[in-house]
Structure 1
C-alpha cells in the first residue's frame, strides 16, 4: 500500500456517513515547512495528503532524509486532537502495547504508535505516526465492491483485539468506521484502528461512569455507525464500540443499513432504536434476498443485549467470528483478500 491518509472525509462506502464537527477550522501549512516536536526532532512537511475543515494530514520526513515514511496529523491546538494525544500518551504507550502482545501470545495488535507530537505556530497541535498503509475506506472506494463475509470476519476479529485492549485500559474508541481502520498489506495483513479524537475514559480508576443522557454533545462521531448511546448524548461505553462494529460489518458486507439514506441525526437515532430489539429485521433489511450470515446474527444478538456497564465476553464474540471464518476456509493468518 502507498503511504496514505490517517483521516479522510466522512464518507463511508456508498452512503454518506456524516460526522459531527465541533473543532475549529485549520489552514494548510506550506509544503517544505518544518515543525519541531517536544523532543527537539524536526519534521519536514513533504506532501499534503488530506484536508478537511478540521484536520490536515501530511507525508513527513526527517530533514536530510529522502524517505517520507511517516504521517503528521495537524489540527487546532485545543480541538479534538488534544483528546487523541491524551489517549495515546495515557493508554497506548508502546511498552504497554508490547506487554499486552506478549501476555496474550499475539504477534501484532493494531494500535497506532505515536512517535512524536508538539505545538506549532501557537495555534496548531500535531501528532506523528509511522505510515500504516491505506484506510479501509479508500481501499473499498478504489475497488468499488463490497467486502466478502470472509474479509469482514477477518477485520472484525482484529478490531475486537484492539477494542479489548483499549477497554482494558479504561477507554472506548467511540468512532469506529472504515475511515478509522488502516490496512498494511503484505505476507500478513496488519489492521490498525486509528482516529481517537472521540476516545472516552469510561471507567476512570475502575469506576464505570453512570448512564446519563444529554451529559455530552449528542451524535458525536460518524453518525451512520455510532451507537444509540452516543446519539442520546450519553457517555459511550464498551457496548457502544461493539455495536458500532456490528453496524460497520453489515455495511461493509451488504452496502446498506436501514438509515443509510437519512440525513438528520435524530432520524438515524430513531431507526437505530427501532432495530435494537429486532436484530432479525435489521439483518433481513440489509441482506435482502441473500442468505443471512449466522455469524453476523450471533454477534449482533449478543452486542445489542449488552447492559451499559456490562463487561463483554470478548473471547466468546471472537470465537464465534473465527469459527465462522474457518468454515469459510479462511483464517486469521491469511492476508486480507481485498
Structure 2
C-alpha cells in the first residue's frame, strides 16, 4: 500500500509490475466458456489495466460486426483484477437472477451488467482468463465534464433513483460496490436513457451466507476507494458496507449538483479528506451550505444525508424511504421520473442558470453555432470519434491518436484510488 500522503495522487498510483499485458488476438478467434458456449472475437476496441476488450458475438459463420452486442475482456490468467470481478458477476449478475428481480419489483430494467459467460483460453503456450459482458456506451464522467461539471437537478434525482434500484439489488445479493462514481456509470449502448453501474473490482461480499461482517478498523487498508467519494468507514480501514455505498452515492449526487465537494482542494491528503467528511457528517447543514453558498440547498439532499448518517454499520437501509425522498425532490421542482435522461444544464433547478446559457446567446448574436462555444474551446475540438465501448481506452491504428483512457474497462481501480484493496471473500 502506498504512503498515506499519496493515496489520492493520480500520477503516483501504479499497478503492480508483476502483472502482464494481454497479447492481442486476431479477429475471428473463438473462445469456449465454462458452459461450453462458443464466442467469436471481433476487433479489439479498448485496453484497460492489463486486459484487452474485444467486440464479440455468439459464434457464427460470419464475422463480428461493428454493432456486436457483447464485449469480452481478456487478461493473462495470473493477473488478479478480472478474477475479483468474476466473483461478483458469477454470484449476483446472472441474467436469470436479474430478470427475476426485475419481475418481482415490476421494473423495466436494472442497471447491473449481466454475466454471460467466462472461462480460460490457451494460445501460444499461454493461458488467458476471459469474461463476456454487455456492451455499453460512454460514461457519465465524460458527460459531467462536458457539461462544465454540473448536472440538472432532475437528472441527478433520476440517477439517484436508478442507483437505489441497483444498490438494493446487489446488497440483497450479499455484495456492496464500494466505488460508485460517474466514471463507473455507463449509458446503455442502445438506449441513452438507461445507465449501468460497472467495475466491480472493489465489490465486497459484506454478508456471506447472510451473516454481516463486524465493524473492525484496519489501518492497512485505510482510504480504499476513490478518495473524493469514499466513505468515512473506508477512510478508517473498515470493510465496505451498505451505508458506505449510500454515503458514496450521496457525495456523488451533491457533486453533480454543485460541481465540487469541499475537500477536493486537498485530495493528496487523505487525513484531511477524512476529517472534512467527519465534520460534514456532524453538521450536514453547514456541509450543504459550503456546497451551495449562493444557491438554494436541495432539501432532498439534506434528508438523504441525514438518513445515511442514522444508519448503523450492519443496518439494512430503508430503500423505499430513500426513494420517497428523491421522488419528493422531483415534485418540488415540478418534475416526474419520466425515464428520460436529459443532460442539458440549462434545465438545472438546483441553483442559478449555468454559464452555458449566456454563451449560447452570445454565439447566436454573432451568428455562430452554439456548439462552437459550448464544452471545450474551438481550438481544442477534435474530429468526431466513434462511440466509447464500455468506457475503455480505444485501440487505434498508429496513424490515429488514441482516445482518452476511461476508467471502467480497466479491472483496476480508477487513478484516484489507493493501491490497497479490500480483501475479497470467496
Give the TM bin, normalised by the shorter chain: 0.7 to 0.9
Could you say which residue in structure 1 is the equivalent of 2:358? Answer: none
Q: Please show how residues 177-326 of structure 1 align to structure 2 within 5 Å.
A: 177-184=181-188, 189-214=193-218, 217-261=221-265, 262-326=267-331
Could you say which residue in structure 2 is the equivalent of 1:95? Answer: 96
- Distance verdict in 2 for CA 1:216–1:189, change over 3 Å: farther
d(CA) in 2 for partners of 1:26 and 1:141? 32
d(CA) in 2 for partners of 1:174 and 1:234? 11
Could you say which residue in structure 2 is the equivalent of 1:130? Answer: 134
d(CA) in 2 for partners of 1:310 and 1:286? 28
Could you say which residue in structure 1 is the equivalent of 2:170? Answer: 166
Could you say which residue in structure 1 is the equivalent of 2:338? Answer: 333
d(CA) in 2 for partners of 1:17 and 1:260? 13
Could you say which residue in structure 2 is the equivalent of 1:44? Answer: 41
- Distance verdict in 2 for CA 1:93–1:187, change over 3 Å: closer
Tell me if structure 1 keeps the 8 A contact 2:22–2:76. Answer: no
1:153-201: CA deviation from partner (whole Å, max 9, x where unpaired): 0000001011011111111111101111112387771121111111111
> 1:257: how far off?
0.8
Tell me if structure 2 keeps the 8 A contact 1:225–1:247. Answer: yes
Residue 80 (structure 2) pairs with residue 79 (structure 1): yes
d(CA) in 2 for partners of 1:30 and 1:187? 30
Could you say which residue in structure 1 is the equivalent of 2:24? Answer: 30
Q: Please show how residues 14-25 of structure 1 align to structure 2 within 5 Å.
A: 25=19
TM superposition score normalised by structure 1: 0.86
Q: Please show how residues 140-179 of structure 1 align to structure 2 within 5 Å.
A: 140-179=144-183
> 1:326: how far off?
2.8
Moved more, 310-319 or 218-227: 218-227
> 1:68: how far off?
2.8
d(CA) in 1 for partners of 2:193 and 2:120? 33
Q: Where does the alignment leave 5 or more consecutive residues of structure 1 unmatched?
A: 1-14
Could you say which residue in structure 2 is the equivalent of 1:116? Answer: 117
Could you say which residue in structure 2 is the equivalent of 1:3? Answer: none
Tell me if structure 2 keeps the 8 A contact 1:170–1:202. Answer: yes
Moved more, 37-46 or 95-104: 37-46
Could you say which residue in structure 1 is the equivalent of 2:383? Answer: none
Tell me if structure 2 keeps the 8 A contact 1:171–1:201. Answer: yes
Tell me if structure 2 keeps the 8 A contact 1:160–1:318. Answer: yes
> 1:132: how far off?
2.4
Provide the aligned C-alpha RMSD in A. Answer: 2.6
- Distance verdict in 2 for CA 1:337–1:52, change over 3 Å: same
Q: Where does the alignment leave 5 or more consecutive residues of structure 2 unmatched?
A: 1-7, 344-426
Tell me if structure 1 keeps the 8 A contact 2:32–2:119. Answer: yes
- Distance verdict in 2 for CA 1:46–1:80, change over 3 Å: same
